Amino acid sequence: MLDEKSRGIGFALFTTGSMLPLATVVPLSEWLLLHGCRDLYIWSPALASLACAAVSCLVKDLSYSGGHEKRWGSYGDLFKARGVKVLLFTAAAMGLADAMTISMASLANARAVPVSYFMVANAFAAVLIRTAAFRLISGVPRVRLAAPAAALMGSALLGLSFSSTSSMFVFFGLLFGIGIGIGFPTDLALVGDMLPAAYHPKATGLVLLVIDSGWMISPLVYGCFSPYLGVSNTFRVIGLAVFAAASMLYLRYWLPLTQGKLKIDGDC
């Protein structure tokens, strides 16, 4: 449905909605808890779900007249395509960093800073990047953006682990939001850039699966290390690991690709 020129901005707009609750629901929930409105806080997810269901009744079916593939590629052929594994590893690094927001309240509590400062700044930056500012970076080749975005998120986690003021939580929240604001739509758009249409459904599903797997792995990693290392040190280890992995992927694979030294065919 989207051509190469509109693919990046299209995915950016599609994924904007997932960031809005961080700037609205999270601070509202924190306010409800601070003011003793526990019953309303408990029922807020149900109320939000009912609101989404009501809105969905107003959405009309999409009439799509585009062509349909007669044969979809197999997973075996997909993994033989050059660049797929690198894209998945890059998405995994970004997904792990993104999923650390699950434990952000623990870090904020340990650093004695309200978590809303990070959440609102993160959401604000991500939404701004995916709307007003995405056209400014659309001229940059997407292969130059995916890994650096993940590395930026890792460095933000590392910086947060040393922060004890609201201003620093806002600053690193903005950096984190820029990273996820660029990285998520870029990873999805790269599927269309790197692969024939026959592989798009399976490749897109795999990228989303890898990213979402971070939300399962992150609590396990945090739960294993935090009792021994402490909250701040655990964030430092994970942030440094994400930064190092994303930097290695960029220098070893993505940068040679942008310089024409590595082509998207064969094994990788």
pLDDT tens column, 180-209: 989 988 888 888 888 888 888 888 899 999
Task: For residue 66, tell me if it sits in a domain.
Answer: no
Q: What's the total number of domains in the chain? A: 1
Mean pLDDT, the chain, rounded, equals: 83
**pLDDT for 162 beyond 60:** yes
Over range 127-156, report the average pLDDT. Answer: 84
Task: For residue 60, tell me if it sits in a domain.
Answer: no
**96-105, 192-201, 247-256: least confident range:** 192-201
pLDDT at 265: 45
HSE-CB of 71 using CA atoms within 13 angstroms: 3
Task: For residue 126, tell me if it sits in a domain.
Answer: yes
Domain of residue 34, CATH code: 1.20.1250.20
pLDDT at 248: 96
Task: For residue 117, tell me if it sits in a domain.
Answer: yes
pLDDT at 18: 64
Task: For residue 268, tell me if it sits in a domain.
Answer: no
Banded model confidence at residue 108, pLDDT cuts 50, 70, 90: very high
**78-82, 161-165, 236-240: least confident range:** 78-82
Structural domain span for residue 19: 7-55+74-258
Task: For residue 176, tell me if it sits in a domain.
Answer: yes
**pLDDT for 8 beyond 70:** no
More confident residue, 140 or 189: 189
More confident residue, 157 or 41: 157
pLDDT at 82: 79
Over range 145-165, report the average pLDDT. Answer: 95
Over range 58-63, report the average pLDDT. Answer: 68
Task: For residue 169, tell me if it sits in a domain.
Answer: yes
Banded model confidence at residue 267, pLDDT cuts 50, 70, 90: very low
Kindly state the tokens that stand for 202.
């399976």
pLDDT at 17: 62
User: pLDDT of 115-132, one tens digit each?
Assistant: 889 998 998 998 888 787
More confident residue, 82 or 122: 122
- The whole-model pTM stands at 0.78
Rounded Cα distance, 216 and 232, in Å: 20
**pLDDT for 61 beyond 80:** no
Banded model confidence at residue 257, pLDDT cuts 50, 70, 90: confident
DSSP string, the chain: ---HHHHHHHHHHHTGGGTHHHHHHHHHHHHHHHTT-HHHHHHHHHHHHHHHHHHHTTPPPP-------SSPPPHHHHHHSTTHHHHHHHHHHHHHHHHGGGGHHHHHHHTT--THHHHHHHHHHHHHHHTTSHHHHTTS-GGGTHHHHHHHHHHHHHHHTT--SHHHHHHHHHHHHHHHHHHHHHHHHHHHHHS-GGGHHHHHHHHHHHHHHHHHHHHHHHHHHHHHH-HHHHHHHHHHHHHHHHHHHIIIIIHHHHTTSS-SSS--
pLDDT at 195: 84
Q: Is 40 exposed, middle or buried (0-12, 13-18, 19+ CB in 10 A)?
A: middle
Banded model confidence at residue 137, pLDDT cuts 50, 70, 90: low
More confident residue, 229 or 192: 229
Task: For residue 202, tell me if it sits in a domain.
Answer: yes
Tell which phi-psi region holds residue 235, choosing left (phi > 0), alpha (psi between -120 and 50) or beta.
alpha
